[in-house]
Structure 1
Amino acid sequence: MSYKIIVDSCGELTEEMKASGHYETASLQIDVGGHHIVDDETFDQASFLKIVAETEECAKSSCPSPERYMEGYHCEEEHVYAVTLSAELSGSYNSAVLGKSLYEEEYGEKDIHVFNSRSASVGETLIALKIAECEEQGMTFEQVIDTVEAYICEQNTYFVLETLETLRKNGRLTGIKSVMASALNIKPVMGATPEGTIVQLGKARGVKKALAKMVEEVTVQVQNSEQKILAIAHCNCLERAKEVKKMLEEKASFRDVIILDTAGISSMYASDGGVIVVV
């Protein structure tokens, strides 16, 4: 069966994924400091971080339209999947589901499934890779859905950021007592709940200690690590990401490791120096 996987642009694609012809990005958009930025291959992280640093106002994002998803579904491939940001954090999931309804009204029935990643960034990347793996194994459409939904349930997301301001100002930290200890350089270790909301897992003084604490959290939670891909996304801090990889590999073995630079939406939320780990 031919298949296509649409990933909203909070999910980074590896060069191999881009070259395979199976993946397509549905771009979110960012408005900050009078600039309108489309999160596609034209996104310039250095320029974006400079604008953010020079702007008082908080960057705002908007998700792809239902029509954009509908267009993506209108293709030759028989099986079409969409992978979106956590429905708790973005309207992208609802947009993709509505796009499916619009497609069916216009063109009739088709095998389309929308996955709520309950994650973001490289969490979406891993889900997209899992879909492709299932398809390449010759699974039926229903088997792919069941296998990938089960995979999403056991996936864990962690992150340490230099600042939580963008998440806080955009209302993504509801229910979390804001960590206002910046004078003490307290850095929280954050993660995703099974539902896809953000939760604080711990905290430490300084980024280095927070990253070490995050590594501890990952190794306590991960099961059958040798069967899993470890994915690390970083916003403009490759050496920090490599250090996290090294710390994790000292404690567990993984099937593979992917390190990616954050695209636009992930850069907006992770902010300069942020590191995201999904396994």
Structure 2
Amino acid sequence: MNKQKTAILTDTCCNVPEAYAKKYDMYVIPLKVIYKDREYLDGVDITPEEVYESLSKEIPKSSLPDGEAILSIFDKIKADGYENVIAITLSSGLSGTNNMIHLLSKDYEGLNFFILDTKNISIGGGFHAIQAGRYLEDGMSFENICEKLQNEVYKCKVFFVVETLEYLQKGGRIGLVASLFGNALNLKPIISCNDEGIYYTVAKVRGRKQSISKTIELALKLAGDHKRYNVAIMNGAAKELAADIKKEILPKLPNVDIFIEEQVTPVLGVHTGPGTIGIGVQILED
């Protein structure tokens, strides 16, 4: 346990790699993947591959964790001797998880909570959890970490492109992304989260190859000449493409602090489908 007696709580859709979750003793709340006749815990008893393999038969739904599961994790944190909790969740504009934690923490005795709405998805939230761990490791106080994390919310962005908008549409997560792109024109949107944490179209280009190139361009532009930044390449059943992108962009990113290459969780895979590529950039220093 750290000297600050501060625990980090996050959810599976923040996509924190297991190595970092273990390093900083994070507590992780799994969301749910729900089929007609069964349900699974995100990344616990179902894999992304299993989700993709079953999409032709049934597109499952996703759900936020139930209150009992969240309270159980609160109890575990308290039993482990912690006094403070930094809870970091995916965007409240995409899930009710953040609000659920807010509601349950209000009446929970024995723990002091700070709940960060990352306004982001996947590693865009996970980077904040990792940074919280690093700040604790550096001995920063609970209060200072909370202030720093809040100020850093808009210094992190994920640009992603999907093979098809079908899954975002069926999952009701289309946000401000125009749902009707001309198939004849083969227009592909590059998607991110806006300041309210809702999906929107950053750019639209013609064709898959061009959409990947534009996503790379946007990520490199965001990193720019900043002195330090974290970078991640996320994929949904597109590991080879992610590896190719890594070879292309890393030489152009001389100031990378942390680099992460990871597959999105099953719940995120439900909403984005196979072939998804995302590039996340978190600015650490201007």
Secondary structure of the structure 2 residue equivalent to 1:69: helix
CA distance, structure 2, for counterparts of residue 96 and residue 224 of structure 1: 37
Deviation by residue 1:188-211 (Cα, 9 ceiling, x = unmatched): 111111221111111222222101
Q: What is the aligned partner in structure 1 of residue 273 from structure 2?
A: 271
Do the aligned partners of 2:16 and 2:127 also contact (CA within 8 Å) in 1? no
Q: Which 5+ residue runs of structure 1 have no aligned equivalent?
A: none
CA distance, structure 2, for counterparts of residue 178 and residue 69 of structure 1: 34
TM-score under structure 2 length normalisation? 0.88
Change in Cα spacing, 1:21 to 1:251, as seen in structure 2 (3 Å) is: closer
Q: What is the aligned partner in structure 1 of residue 250 from structure 2?
A: 249
Q: What is the aligned partner in structure 2 of residue 37 from structure 1?
A: 40
Q: State how 1:29-108 maps to structure 2 within 5 Å.
A: 29-55=32-58, 58-74=59-75, 75=78, 76-103=81-108, 107-108=109-110
Do the aligned partners of 1:33 and 1:52 also contact (CA within 8 Å) in 2? no
Deviation by residue 1:118-176 (Cα, 9 ceiling, x = unmatched): 11111122111011111111111110011111121211121011112222223222343
Q: Tell me which moved more, 166-175 or 190-199.
A: 166-175
Change in Cα spacing, 1:214 to 1:198, as seen in structure 2 (3 Å) is: same
Do the aligned partners of 1:32 and 1:60 also contact (CA within 8 Å) in 2? yes
Q: Tell me which moved more, 260-269 or 181-190.
A: 181-190
Change in Cα spacing, 1:54 to 1:182, as seen in structure 2 (3 Å) is: farther
Deviation by residue 1:173-229 (Cα, 9 ceiling, x = unmatched): 234321432344322111111221111111222222101101111222235544111
TM-score under structure 1 length normalisation? 0.90
Secondary structure of the structure 2 residue equivalent to 1:64: coil
CA distance, structure 2, for counterparts of residue 259 and residue 92 of structure 1: 25
Q: Tell me which moved more, 176-185 or 225-234.
A: 176-185
Shift in Å, 1:50: 1.5
Q: State how 1:137-176 maps to structure 2 within 5 Å.
A: 137-176=138-177
Shift in Å, 1:250: 3.8
Shift in Å, 1:53: 1.9
Q: What is the aligned partner in structure 2 of residue 193 from structure 1?
A: 194
Q: What is the aligned partner in structure 1 of residue 29 from structure 2?
A: 26
CA distance, structure 2, for counterparts of residue 182 and residue 247 of structure 1: 29
Letter in 2 for 1:94: N
Q: What is the aligned partner in structure 2 of residue 9 from structure 1?
A: 12
Do the aligned partners of 1:186 and 1:204 also contact (CA within 8 Å) in 2? yes
Do the aligned partners of 1:225 and 1:255 also contact (CA within 8 Å) in 2? no
Do the aligned partners of 2:176 and 2:198 also contact (CA within 8 Å) in 1? no
Give aligned pairs, total. 273
Letter in 2 for 1:4: A
Q: Percent identity?
A: 24
Do the aligned partners of 1:111 and 1:141 also contact (CA within 8 Å) in 2? no
CA distance, structure 2, for counterparts of residue 258 and residue 21 of structure 1: 16
Change in Cα spacing, 1:53 to 1:33, as seen in structure 2 (3 Å) is: farther
CA distance, structure 2, for counterparts of residue 235 and residue 97 of structure 1: 30
Secondary structure of the structure 1 residue equivalent to 2:55: helix
Please state if 1:259 is matched with 2:261: yes
Q: What is the aligned partner in structure 1 of residue 284 from structure 2?
A: none
Letter in 2 for 1:265: V
Shift in Å, 1:60: 1.6
